[in-house]
Structure 1
Amino acid sequence: MRALKGLLFCLCLTSLQAVADWYPVAVQADGQPLNYQPLARAAQAWRICALLPHGKDRYWWGVAWGLDDEAARQGVRLGIYEAGGYENPQTQIAQLQACRAQKADAYVIASINTTDLCPLIAQLQGEGKPVIDLVNRLDCAGISARSQVSFADMMREVLAYIEGSREPGPFSIGWLPGPQGAGWVADGESSLHQALQNQPVTLYHGGYAPVDRASQAQLVRRLLSEHSDVDYLLGNAEAAGFAAQLVQTSGNHYRAQVLATYTTERIIEQIRDGFILAAPTDSPVLQARIAIDLAVRALERQPHPRLVSPLIEMLDQRSLSRFDISRLMPPEGHWMIRRDLPQ
């Protein structure tokens, strides 16, 4: 039966991904609703360098695929680099330096942290090279445009879901944010503390770590061993995915309901199977596609918004069937794309 469910799920995903065009798509652009329409094609084969923090999970596989597919559609040449993890900021700096040495025309950057790349970005600004801030948030001058969703808003959606589903009275949350220093983590954590003010809640902080399964599993095990009666466990996708499995196999030793702060393919499967209660999605494939279009618009001096954000969608068992999965993950058989910048 489980195999049949998996087959039907895959068929559903395939049908959802068989969409001719990803646009027009409803977004918030500079704070206003907009049906975003990309350019039909770039005026020339611009060379664009894309930097990602890592390629360890399906979230970034989707980002890489969205970048690659939109670059091919618009006829631009794209290099895609990943730094191997949030613990490798020096690698991302070196990758940006290498792209600059190769004279890339524009840069799309999902940064490891908010400030380390700022000196190099200032140099690129002086050279007139567009820089698009993708997903993670850069706190630098000289950013041409941003394609990202606020993780503060994502957190507010998750907490509103918990508030709408929990029983009245005191409750507790175990919190597993992700890597310290990442902009998306800082934004989500700030929103969490703000939203929980004056709430009858006890918050247990599980600690920071890179978002690989081994690191997050260690934090999950420690948090649940110290607070086995926690009501909700809220964490990054790797933490939530492992926690859901641990709770399900514990023989009712843990009672935590698990939610993720963002969605990956594995999180969707666990929501479908009832292991994870809910998670918001920031549509990373769409963010990547829009980032390429913003880079081309900036290169061709065409009007464009400064900030474009796909609409946040909360996913649970009820809403999952209505969600277009092509906003989140690549088609079946696509893995992480890595490519040097073409000459």
Structure 2
Amino acid sequence: MTVAGGYGEGKRQEAHLRTHLRDGVDGVILAAVDYEGCGPVIRELREEGIPVVEVITDILAPAIAAKALVSFHEVGYLVGEYVSRHAEKAGLDSLRIAFFPGPKNAGWSPETLAGFMEALEAYPGRVDVVDVSWGDTGHEEQARLVRRSLAENPGIDYVVGNALAAEAAPEILREMGLAGKVSVVSTYIMPSLYDSIAKGDVLAAAADLNVYQGRMAVDMMVRIFNGEVSGRDFPFRSGPFIPMVTSQNIANYPYEGLFGPRDYLPVFHLRPGD
């Protein structure tokens, strides 16, 4: 396993992929950090008989052999539906929302925002997305964006966005005296956010079931090794269903089913200079 280091490290990830041209690997399972990056090197890998299967994040690369991922437009739409239902039950005639999509260059974040906005079109009252703050999914960066947005936009009803923004938001809301006045919803889930939902600090998160996406990517690669062709013998793109994990239903989604064992640690293969 090699790691790019973040959504601003597209060139680094491309360099990692180029090393596989000389390493003699049989296949690559890739989670791209840049939607428009790596296309040429993926084409080179394919020409050398090395298939690349994309997992979790999307990529604009015609030479990709298959994709195991969900539709983040659908993810955003489901989150928008959840926020709409929650607001209607609360009797809110108007909504003020701050949205934190994530990095602009990632394939999933613009799609999430588009799906979210589409879902809100059906809300019976007035909806104002008063701020859309793009930024890398580092905790400090997202905390900075959330703090700035709340300070500059009084009267926000919902903080909605990537899991790092949702993770940072509850403590910031407490610091600013807004706890209980602003609700937090995440567009995806991660281990630390799971506990925040269980405690009620975060209302809900869409779960794109990364464990299952990983299994599907491995299954696709095995099928390719066995001579099967995506789009003919199995779907070129597929992914698991997307549940909304909430503070009310979280008991139905055990931690281990979403993320694997709590004591699991990934094994990284770091090259000199990485």
Question: What is the TM-score of this pair, normalised by structure 1?
Answer: 0.72
1:181 and 2:109 correspond: no
What corresponds to 1:245 in structure 2? 171
Deviation at 1:330, TM superposition (A): 3.3
What corresponds to 2:263 in structure 1? 333
AA at the equivalent of 1:185 = S
Gaps of 5+ in 2: none
What corresponds to 2:186 in structure 1? 260
Cα distance in 2, alignment partners of residues 265 and 97 from structure 1: 32
AA at the equivalent of 2:15 = A
Cα distance in 1, alignment partners of residues 270 and 25 from structure 2: 11
Deviation at 1:257, TM superposition (A): 0.3
What corresponds to 2:37 in structure 1? 116
Contact 1:216 1:238 in 2 (8 A): yes
Alpha-carbon RMSD: 1.8
Contact 2:81 2:120 in 1 (8 A): no
Deviation at 1:288, TM superposition (A): 1.0
What corresponds to 1:92 in structure 2? 13
Deviation at 1:158, TM superposition (A): 0.9
Deviation at 1:327, TM superposition (A): 3.7
Deviation at 1:311, TM superposition (A): 1.0
Alignment partner of 2:244: what SS? Answer: strand
1:83 and 2:83 correspond: no
Contact 1:286 1:327 in 2 (8 A): no
Q: How does 1:173-252 map to 2 (within 5 A)?
A: 173-197=97-121, 199=123, 200-252=126-178
Contact 1:136 1:183 in 2 (8 A): yes
Contact 1:113 1:183 in 2 (8 A): yes
1:294 and 2:224 correspond: no
What corresponds to 1:279 in structure 2? 205
Contact 1:176 1:208 in 2 (8 A): yes
Deviation at 1:331, TM superposition (A): 1.3
Deviation at 1:254, TM superposition (A): 7.2
From 250, 253, 257, give the equivalent of 1:323: 253
What corresponds to 1:159 in structure 2? 80
- 1:238-291 CA distances to partner (integer Å, 9 max, x unpaired)? 111111222234334772100010001111111111111111100111111211
Contact 1:228 1:255 in 2 (8 A): no
What corresponds to 1:58 in structure 2? none
Cα distance in 2, alignment partners of residues 340 and 247 from structure 1: 38
Q: 1:164 to 1:198 in 2, by over 3 A?
A: closer
From 146, 170, 174, give the equivalent of 2:94: 170
From 48, 51, 60, give the equivalent of 1:139: 60
AA at the equivalent of 1:233 = V
Amino-acid identity (%): 27
Contact 1:298 1:304 in 2 (8 A): no
- 1:202-223 CA distances to partner (integer Å, 9 max, x unpaired)? 1122422111111111101100
Alignment partner of 1:216: what SS? Answer: helix
Cα distance in 2, alignment partners of residues 301 and 253 from structure 1: 56
| 109-118 or 318-327, which deviates more | 318-327
| 226-235 or 202-211, which deviates more | 202-211
Contact 1:172 1:231 in 2 (8 A): yes
Cα distance in 2, alignment partners of residues 301 and 340 from structure 1: 31
Deviation at 1:332, TM superposition (A): 2.5
Q: Relative CO higher for 1 or 2, CA cutoff 8 Å, sep ≥ 6?
A: 1
Deviation at 1:129, TM superposition (A): 2.1
Question: What is the TM-score of this pair, normalised by structure 2?
Answer: 0.90
Deviation at 1:180, TM superposition (A): 1.2
Deviation at 1:168, TM superposition (A): 4.2
Contact 1:228 1:253 in 2 (8 A): no
Contact 2:77 2:118 in 1 (8 A): no
What corresponds to 1:77 in structure 2? none
- 1:134-180 CA distances to partner (integer Å, 9 max, x unpaired)? 11101111221111011111111111111111124111110111111
Q: 1:319 to 1:253 in 2, by over 3 A?
A: closer
